[in-house]
């Protein structure tokens, strides 16, 4: 029997929610399969990109010292890694 390997691509983008929500942002994480043919990719109804989760982004405090900004960046990376690990755990 042959095996099939297909690439899985995760993508995200910061999204501005509302001026009324104190300039809150969120970070949706999407999943798609790589190497989709252009015929499938160009049809809007194919749902080729599916949302996996929505990560909140804490408000950035630019007045804090660099050490706190580095800690905040590190925390955001750890949260993203943990969420993706939990999402992919059943597949692994």
Residue 1 lies in a domain: no
Residue 64 lies in a domain: yes
pLDDT at 21 over 60: no
pTM equals: 0.58
The mean pLDDT of 63-72, rounded to a whole number, is 74
Distance from C-alpha of 88 to C-alpha of 20, rounded to nearest angstrom: 34
Residue 25 lies in a domain: yes
pLDDT at 39: 82
Residue 2 lies in a domain: no
Residue 3 lies in a domain: no
Residue 20 lies in a domain: yes
Helix-then-strand count for the chain, H and E: 2, 4
Residue 73 lies in a domain: yes
pLDDT band of 75, cuts 50, 70, 90: confident
Residue-range definition of the domain harbouring residue 63:
8-88
pLDDT band of 36, cuts 50, 70, 90: confident
Residue 67 lies in a domain: yes
Yes or no: say if 27 and 12 are a contact pair by the CB < 8 Å rule.
yes
Look at the chain and report how many structural domains it folds into: 1
Highest mean pLDDT: which of 18-27, 39-48, 59-68? Answer: 39-48
């Amino acid at each position: 029997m042959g095996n099939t390997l297909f690439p899985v691509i995760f993508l995200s983008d910061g999204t501005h929610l509302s001026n009324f929500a104190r300039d809150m942002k969120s970070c949706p994480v999407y999943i798609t399969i790589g190497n989709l043919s252009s015929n499938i990719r160009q049809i809007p109804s194919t749902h080729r990109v599916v949302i996996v989760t929505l990560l909140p982004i804490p408000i950035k405090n630019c007045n804090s010292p660099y050490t706190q900004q580095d800690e905040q960046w590190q925390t955001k990376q750890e949260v993203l890694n943990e969420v993706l690990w939990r999402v992919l755990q059943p597949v692994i």
